[in-house]
Structure 1
């Protein structure tokens, strides 16, 4: 058993912010003037807590853009990792702060971290910030980044029922049938009982017959006669129209970021809108 501290508490009792410095405090609270004074007086901007939290993590998680700017300008490590493997960019995406995300990217933050942990795109999907999702995709975020707990960003967005994020991911070319232990986004949609989400995934080519590691289809996770059950039953009995099948096939052929290719096709604007799900 670990020895107690001087005041009788144990290290594990102190939680996330053990040994945080005045720089951490100012960054978290958005006290930019105090932070500037601390930096000018020589305070270290890369001091870490026992959880490897830097002041830049603290500012990013709270969406404190002015503090993020000050820390970066003072030499804060843009891709520092905490004990969970998260970078300040991950934390900025978790806060949904598009301003912090832009600042971090401008200082060279990696959009695709090398470890098998939740990526910035996963965090943006968890927070439901479609603006952050769109920006990350624009700068090259891996749509199929796989986290061992959450699966792909699409799995996360569906599990959290962030339909705007789901639409952005699918339109950018995310694999609608990507599997996490054979569980697809449609399984998530069925579990959260979201009919709009089910319809969107099917329209983008979601496989209603896909089976997870328990051998269950999405419809197996719905209550009989419920709206999600009726929706899935309809799709099981009614094939997609030829126009929808053609759209799904063409979108699959164009691959990731296919919208850019579709926009250049020499076809009527109405067809481009249809292929773009507008």
Structure 2
């Protein structure tokens, strides 16, 4: 068995190129007996195929948890990068495999690998697929809520653009910035474009700026169909001041920061918070 954990893995440190090996195939298909046989016979678990894809990438992309375990125990590079810079954790999050995500994190995978602004983070991938359980696990591990991707923006942008309300709620409850902007476009713009009234309401309750204008000088309501539930909701918030619950939530987030937000969660603005605000 070849164990190659003597030194850290770096992007571009790909060893030898190869066609897709039997290890890759077994890992992708979930053939645990075949994979175990290949490993015992001395097959390398870190040979990369075209596009720098490792067997661990393939197992994670298919959610093959038992194969992931075998590969990791045999010394597979847990943070190996493919040609796009994505790690196995990115692939596991994209597949929505909580078991694979947990295995990778337990073996030292970085929830926030050193990615460029052109590479989606594991949290972006989980939000893109609407995998809220993976989102929750990554947040608990300390994944950066404001990780920024050049094309997609923050994970909250991604969750809204892909109509995944459960992911939106997980991010907001953990303290994600509701008014984060990409080219002046906020998550609320995405929710409005997709006519997701529940998502629109959730963002607004967490203090989304209903008057924000994007690069086209359009407000969120400008992207809705007149008379639709989403349009009605946005128009209501445009003409009415924030209620006490919204103002309190915003004040607590501003004063105490993300760390406190994770503790507070979805509290219905108890007297404790009102008392806190009165003494500021």
TM-score normalised to structure 1 length: 0.87
- Indicate whether 1:38 and 2:38 are aligned: yes
**Match of residue 103 from structure 1:** 103
Mapping of residues 1-278 of structure 1, within 5 Å: 19-115=19-115, 116=117, 117-262=119-264, 270-271=270-271
Query: In the TM superposition, what is the alpha-carbon distance from 1:239 to its structure 2 partner?
Result: 1.3
| Aligned residue-pair number | 254
- Segments of 4+ moved more than 6 angstroms: none
- What is the RMSD of the two structures over their aligned residues, measured on CA atoms? 2.0
Ranges in structure 1 where 5+ consecutive residues have no aligned partner: 1-17
Query: In the TM superposition, what is the alpha-carbon distance from 1:258 to its structure 2 partner?
Result: 2.3
Q: Deviations over 1:164-189 (max 9, x none)?
A: 11111001000000001110000000
Q: Is the 8 A contact 1:171 1:257 kept in 2?
A: no
Q: Is the 8 A contact 1:72 1:78 kept in 2?
A: yes
For 1:58 and 1:64, locate their aligned partners in 2 and report how far apart those are by CA, in whole Å: 9
For 2:190 and 2:44, locate their aligned partners in 1 and report how far apart those are by CA, in whole Å: 44
For 2:272 and 2:262, locate their aligned partners in 1 and report how far apart those are by CA, in whole Å: 11
Query: In the TM superposition, what is the alpha-carbon distance from 1:19 to its structure 2 partner?
Result: 2.0
Q: Is the 8 A contact 1:182 1:212 kept in 2?
A: yes
For 1:159 and 1:272, locate their aligned partners in 2 and report how far apart those are by CA, in whole Å: 35
Query: In the TM superposition, what is the alpha-carbon distance from 1:259 to its structure 2 partner?
Result: 3.6
Q: Is the 8 A contact 2:23 2:55 kept in 1?
A: yes
Query: In the TM superposition, what is the alpha-carbon distance from 1:271 to its structure 2 partner?
Result: 4.7
**Match of residue 12 from structure 2:** none
Change in Cα spacing, 1:270 to 1:109, as seen in structure 2 (3 Å) is same
Change in Cα spacing, 1:26 to 1:144, as seen in structure 2 (3 Å) is same
